[in-house]
Structure 1
């Protein structure tokens, strides 16, 4: 299991929101997830889809819950397109771990409406890699899948 830096489940704001012990502007909820507006949105309409059961990251969430989070995220993205927000696109984002910019260590999916000139960007030094290196990494992943470290 992934360890959350600094705070534990007792201090998890998303657990508190899921348990209705903390305020949130809920959009959708069922027995597995809650979707609510992000308190610090990148753009207007930015929301989060969060499993009710505490899981820090991808290693900690079961396949059925993960699939449900993504399914509800898809529904939220489609709903955003039908609102008066008139977004130009949708950015679906999941940060898994501190190096990936995860700030709240409870698995969650961001659904972010995008607008031309909204100022949000992701930058990287995109470089084409040699086929031999890609093939080597693909083989490592295949081995991990064969050892049961892949899809449930």
Structure 2
């Protein structure tokens, strides 16, 4: 067993985990944060996307020991004080989800995009989100949701 220190959604944890334990399993089984989903288990679908130090990571590929001392954001950490973020609201308002399996990973990938590129073009959104697979929506509504959230952020910046 290896002791890891994780900061997840702003809360500090110390856990003893087997050396080969994936971050995905640590989040879901050790911490009870089941919003992060396992789709393919090979890093190809994006369902398990989390942010590690602000970077999109497939949590099914990252050993938990490699996340030691790092800041992790899961879907549970996106809403603040019980209020959906602008990005989450946009996914709801624009129908950017259906079954919900890919939605947490989609939202975290979109957050990483908007953190890097606050005013992306539709093509930039499409390219960025290509690593997050969805079998239900056809992606149009996801792209619309991301662009709407970007517009809301831009409007808030203009008001400030």
Q: Structures share a fold, TM > 0.5?
A: no
TM-score normalised by length of structure 2? 0.26
Q: Report the structure, 1 or 2, having the larger helix content.
A: 2
Report the structure number with the largest CA radius of gyration.
1
